[in-house]
Amino acid sequence: MVKVAIAGAAGELGREILDKIVERQKHEIIALVRRDPSLLPPLQGVTWAQTSYKSESELVQLLDGVDTLLCVFAVHRDPGNATQKMLIDAAIKAGVRRYAPAEWATSMKLEAHLDLAPWNGGKVEICHYLQKLNKDKKVLEYSCFQVGILMDYLGHPHRVSKYLTTMPMTVDMENCHALVISGSLTDEITFTTAHDIAKVVARAIEYEGEWPLVGGVSGHRISFEDLIRIGERVRGTPFVIERLRQEDLEAGELKTDNFFRVPFSDIPEDQVESFSKLATISVMLGAKYGLWTVTDEWNRILPDHKFTQVEEFLRSIWGSRG
């Protein structure tokens, strides 16, 4: 049994992870939140702790005795990574042994193609920050948990997990439509369910070996061609495949009206369409350059964990809906 702290514990993925750790009934958990803890449900072994993340001394006190700290808030909501850097510094001063930065998507190829997803730039900066801290002497063990894209999105608009907000993907299971780059059907992408992510993280806390720096969690690595074929089998109808030219996308031109709209509440209403176009281009080109295809370090460390496969997942959501 160890003491675990989760920063961003009340967020969507944070709650998925929190619940899985609680379910194992092995650890004391400090759930760090900005909101009033009295508004949050009582959970066995969990202490809800309110913080503004603006006082390092307060964070050091909150992290006293913590073995493992998980950061599960969104980097694009942390200007300059000020909050996460303070959290890391406080963790080191409090004697925290292990840290999981706010990674949770993309792959190690992000840095080479950051122009495709600039809102994820904070992930690269934090990775460099951690490397610098450990340059001369290891002061904090860490693992960048990378999961590809949430498989849960393939179930949109149906709620497939307890907390996650989903959105349609470029392969849209609801409308039996696929938006692909010409000549890219064999390109691969990694999908991992929130359920699998949470279970792997909960078990990683108990892992006695050293955490891998790159912590790939690979649910199902699949080509767009196979994804579409599975979708057609499950939905019982051929998909309309719309092909776009890579050179148009790289020029920032999305020549279709069939792009997904992002559901994020922190985007001003008048910017939703332009950001949605940018996000669609990012997903499509990101797949071409491997941003969403992750490694399998945690799969190899936990070989007995059976990851949910795409067809299994789709049949559980769409099989009875035709």
Judged by DSSP in three states, 150 sits in strand
Q: Can you tell me the distance from the alpha carbon of 29 to that of 136, in angstroms, rounded to the nearest whole number?
A: 31
Q: Can you tell me the distance from the alpha carbon of 153 to that of 159, in angstroms, rounded to the nearest whole number?
A: 9
Nearest to 308 by CA among 229, 234, 198, 225: 198
pLDDT at 113 over 90: no
Judged by DSSP in three states, 190 sits in strand
* 186-195 pLDDT tens trace: 999 999 999 9
How many helices (DSSP H) and strands (DSSP E) are in the chain? 10, 14
Domains and CATH numbers, the chain: 3-142 (3.40.50.720), 149-189+220-291+308-318 (3.90.25)
| pLDDT category of residue 115 using cuts at 50, 70 and 90 | confident
> Can you give the pLDDT at residue 265?
65
| pLDDT category of residue 305 using cuts at 50, 70 and 90 | very high
* 27-63 pLDDT tens trace: 999 999 999 999 999 999 999 999 999 999 999 999 9
The pLDDT of 115-136, averaged and rounded, is: 91
The predicted model scores a pTM of: 0.94
> Can you give the pLDDT at residue 264?
67
Nearest to 150 by CA among 1, 301, 304, 263: 263
> Can you give the pLDDT at residue 142?
97
The pLDDT of 271-289, averaged and rounded, is: 89
